[in-house]
Amino acid sequence: MKALLMFITLTCVSFAHATLSSPVSTRANHKANKEVPSLGVPKSVQETWAMFSPYYPAATYVKPPKGCSVDQVHILQRHGARYPTSGVGKRIKAAIKKLQSVNQYTDSKLDFLKNYTYVLHKNTLVPFGAAQSFESGEEAFKRYGSLVSKKNQPFVRASSSSRCVDSATNWTAGFSDASGHGKWPVLSLILSESANDTLDNAMCKNAGSANPQAKQWLASFAAPITAHLNAAAPGANLTDKDTDSLLAMCSLDTVAQEKASPFCALYEELNGGPGFAYLADLDKYYGTGYGQALGRVQGVGYVNELLARLTGQPVQDRTQTNTTLDGSQATFPLGRGMYADFSHDNQLIAIYAAMGLFPQAKALDPTKPDAGRTWQAWKMVPFSARMVTERLKCSGGKESVRVLVNDAVMPLEFCGAKGDGVCTLDAFVESQAYARNNGDGDWEKCFA
Ligand SMILES: *[C@@H]1O[C@H](CO)[C@@H](O)[C@H](O)[C@H]1NC(C)=O
Ligand SMILES: *[C@@H]1O[C@H](CO)[C@@H](O)[C@H](O)[C@H]1NC(C)=O
Ligand SMILES: *[C@@H]1O[C@H](CO)[C@@H](O)[C@H](O)[C@H]1NC(C)=O
Ligand SMILES: *[C@@H]1O[C@H](CO)[C@@H](O)[C@H](O)[C@H]1NC(C)=O
Ligand SMILES: *[C@@H]1O[C@H](CO)[C@@H](O)[C@H](O)[C@H]1NC(C)=O
């Protein structure tokens, strides 16, 4: 698919009504159980699910400091909980098949496999993920609704994966529902993942992967678990990679079925959580984070768009932006009160790193987790994760900004914030030199 799918629906209220009729029924299923279902697995376990954790705020939201009020908001959000991606789904099925090929288990926690069928779909949003996206739209209205009006609608974009598109439309439905249907945001633009796209990380051809570091840690933490499973299912011949796939099922099956997966009993018995969580932290750090030479450059395009919106100036970028789209007021309007963009975990990580968020004094060690690290995937990129940039008007002062990731205020030391996370807009723009310089030569290395 070469051409960009593009909906310009800014004035098309009847279209908005049409797209908003189904989400309400999706929501109705959940309303019966009151709000987003609890899943039946302790939160302490869900936190070890890392990027497969459902959304939880990483801190309690606090209002901007006294004398400041939000006058513009930028929401960058990961899609909600989804089915396994195709590659992961295949590996999970293969691991289950190995376990089911033997006829005797010595651990009763495997007995459920005697009559078990893998039924998960692939890639798309699960109903639980739709509900969390809807709920985040409600929250956005409650927190920031005063910044929008019928004439000043949120400008909403999504990367073209159906899970991002569905998250965006469920979000707009939640936003609209919370507003008593007084405001009708619509998904304004879809960015094709096979073209220039600041909401995906597919353009940098030479970017490396986290495989070496992930392999190293997997061999160390998973070996005893794999040995236990092979002893419990003699002849199954599981590898460490199979163990990883089976551990992932605790989360992926639970968010799909909306009740504790039978794989979670194994996950807890084998204490798979800490190792699984660190595997994900390494995967993000060395995938598109600080540990990857061409990681953070993939976040530059979004940061340059953010700077343009914050300052009301045209986009200056020579990386992932589509200059045709970003050069037009219809597809890149300035001066809105609210922007929302729907993307993926690896892209959020690249953007955090491009901005300088979650700095690490030392590179993550693939042989040993540092218990005090702030790089924890479940706090950074759970399903429905969000980075929110608030532009603030402060009494007597200059325009300022604050950045929150999953409601935790980022310290922004790099632009001189003093503990409340607030920088002047000028200092923030100044601090984003890596983005403003188009990645200091790194973008060219993506193709050289
Ligand atoms: C919400 O997400 C679900 C997928 O889980 C999708 O089928 C539905 O169409 C979405 N709702 C809207 C309004 O797009
Ligand atoms: C196997 O699972 C199916 C579907 O969940 C169920 O209908 C059936 O009763 C189960 N059989 C046994 C022997 O537990
Ligand atoms: C840029 O956007 C235009 C307008 O939608 C589209 O036709 C074109 O294919 C896009 N080009 C790239 C390289 O993304
Ligand atoms: C495990 O390995 C043994 C010995 O090589 C082989 O006989 C058996 O078929 C293997 N089992 C599976 C499930 O591949
Ligand atoms: C798409 O991105 C490439 C790589 O940065 C750039 O050379 C090209 O001009 C961009 N195309 C558009 C339409 O912006």
- Tens digit of each residue's pLDDT (9 = 90 or more) over 343-380: 999 999 999 999 999 999 999 999 999 988 999 999 99
Which ranges constitute the DSSP H helices of 20-151? 21-32, 43-46, 86-100, 127-144
| Confidence check: pLDDT of 71 > 70 | yes
- Atom 1 (ligand 5) nearest CA: 196
CATH topology of domain 2-82+124-204+286-445: Rossmann fold (3.40.50)
Please report, as a single letter, which amino acid is at residue 187. Answer: L
CA 236–ligand 4 middle distance (angstroms): 7
Percent of the chain residues past pLDDT 90, beyond the cut: 88
Residue 79 bears catalytic tag: yes
Q: What is the DSSP letter of 156?
A: E
Q: What is the mean pLDDT of residues 255-269?
A: 96
Residue 111 bears catalytic tag: no
CA 197–ligand 3 middle distance (angstroms): 9
Q: Residue 113: enclosing H or E segment and its boundaries?
A: none
Q: What is the mean pLDDT of residues 303-325?
A: 98
Binding pocket residue ranges, ligand 1, CB within 6 Å: 19, 22-23, 26, 125, 127, 130, 166, 169-170, 173
- Please return the burial class of 228, using the count of CB atoms within 10 Å of its CB with bins 0-12, 13-18 and 19+: middle
First to last CA, the chain: 25
Interaxial angle between packed helices 273-287 and 211-232, expressed in degrees from 0 to 180 and rounded to the nearest 10: 160
Q: What is the DSSP letter of 132?
A: H
Please give the Cα distance from 352 to 350 (Å, whole number). 6
* pLDDT tens sequence across 296-306: 999 999 999 99
What phi, psi does 301 have (nearest 5°)?
-60, -45
Each domain of the chain, given as residue ranges in start order, spans: 2-82+124-204+286-445, 86-123+209-272
Interaxial angle between packed helices 240-257 and 211-232, expressed in degrees from 0 to 180 and rounded to the nearest 10: 90
| Confidence check: pLDDT of 183 > 60 | yes
Q: What is the mean pLDDT of residues 228-253?
A: 98
| Confidence check: pLDDT of 9 > 60 | no
Residues, the chain: 448
Mutate to test the pocket of ligand 3, among 196, 318, 324, 329 (most ligand atoms within 8 A of CB): 324
Out of 30, 74, 79, 344, pick the active-site residue.
79
Which contacts of 69-72 are long-range, i.e. CB under 8 A and separated by 24 or more positions?
Answer: 69/392, 69/393, 70/144, 70/147, 70/390, 70/391, 70/392, 71/147, 71/337, 71/391, 71/392, 71/393, 71/399, 72/147, 72/309, 72/310, 72/336, 72/337, 72/338, 72/390, 72/391
Out of 253, 341, 345, 442, pick the active-site residue.
345
| Confidence check: pLDDT of 18 > 50 | no
| Confidence check: pLDDT of 184 > 80 | no
β-pair type (399-405, 423-424): antiparallel
Atom of ligand 5 nearest to the CA of 196: 1
* pLDDT tens sequence across 112-133: 999 999 999 999 999 999 999 9
Cα dihedral 293, 361, 210, 120 sign: negative
* pLDDT tens sequence across 21-65: 333 334 444 443 336 778 999 999 999 999 999 999 999 999 999
| Confidence check: pLDDT of 13 > 60 | no
Q: Which pLDDT value is given to residue 103?
A: 86
Q: Which pLDDT value is given to residue 35?
A: 60
C-beta of residue 52 within 8 angstroms of C-beta of residue 255: yes
Cα dihedral 281, 446, 80, 420 sign: positive
| Confidence check: pLDDT of 265 > 50 | yes
Q: How many helices (H) and strands (E) does the chain have?
A: 17, 8
